[in-house]
């Protein structure tokens, strides 16, 4: 089985219409020409990217965050994450988010993967990192975030993914990636 496609699968954008520009996302509609010459439209959520970290302390516990997620209409258990700010590198965003969300900084950071969160309709690409050698550090959470830090042994966190207790995609991916390198 070849990794190369048998045919050109690319779609060509022929027109773009911007619908919305927000603080975190934008929405556009692209008209595209399909590989067979047909036409279609694509609704695209534009996102400048994000990072997420699996912060593991010296006892092998992941410092996870529990928070309300309004679109899901439930409280989710997740790894710390955040959107890239303009002019910020992914590592700068990661370090800022760790301090804001879990009150720690990481002396060691290892890049694990870059993953599209929902490539069927979003441009968001999230960098997943393993953060270790954690040190407590005073930080201030975002004013609109209510977060509870929940330390969980890495093995238990992975089991919670398997059992369906953890359902956030970046968290499942991050925990499985971290467990594979630890």
Range of the domain at 41: 12-47
Q: Note the pTM of the prediction, 2 decimals.
A: 0.91
- Judge if 57 and 39 occupy the same domain: no
- pLDDT score at 141: 65
Q: Residue 88: its pLDDT value, please?
A: 95
Rounded Cα–Cα distance for residues 81 and 97 (Å): 6
> Is residue 4 in a domain?
no
pLDDT top residue among 142 and 97: 97
Same domain, 104 and 127: yes
Segment 16-29, tens digit of pLDDT: 999 999 999 999 99
User: Within a domain: residue 146?
Assistant: yes
Instruction: Please determine, for residue 55, whether its predicted confidence score (pLDDT) is greater than 70.
Output: yes
Q: What is the mean pLDDT of residues 159-178?
A: 97
Residue 33 sits in the same domain as residue 55:
no
Angle in degrees, 0-180, between the axes of helices 154-163 and 169-181, rounded to the nearest 10: 140
**Residue 3, phi then psi, degrees to nearest 5:** -80, -15
CA distance linking residue 42 with residue 21, whole number of Å: 17
Distance (Å, whole) CA 51 – CA 146: 19
Q: CATH code at 105?
A: 3.90.79.10
- Are residue 55 and residue 42 in the same domain, yes or no? no
> What's residue 43's pLDDT?
98
Q: For 127, list phi and psi in degrees, rounded to 5.
A: -85, 130
Q: Is residue 137 part of a domain?
A: yes
């Amino acid at each position: 089985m070849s990794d190369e496609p048998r045919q050109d699968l690319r779609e060509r954008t022929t027109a773009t219409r911007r619908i919305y520009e927000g603080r975190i996302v934008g929405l556009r509609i692209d008209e595209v020409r399909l590989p067979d010459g047909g036409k279609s439209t694509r609704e695209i959520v534009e996102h400048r990217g994000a990072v997420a970290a699996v912060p593991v302390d010296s006892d092998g516990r992941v410092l996870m965050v529990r928070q309300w997620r309004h679109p899901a209409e439930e409280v989710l258990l997740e790894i710390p994450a955040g959107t890239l700010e303009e002019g910020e590198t992914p590592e700068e965003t990661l370090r800022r988010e760790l301090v804001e969300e879990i009150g720690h900084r990481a002396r060691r950071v290892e890049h694990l993967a870059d993953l599209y969160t929902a490539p069927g309709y979003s441009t968001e690409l999230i960098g997943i990192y393993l953060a270790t050698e954690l040190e407590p550090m005073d930080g201030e959470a975002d004013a609109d975030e209510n977060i509870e830090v929940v330390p969980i042994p890495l093995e238990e966190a992975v089991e919670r993914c398997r059992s369906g207790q953890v359902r956030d995609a970046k968290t499942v991916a991050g925990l499985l990636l971290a467990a594979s390198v630890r």
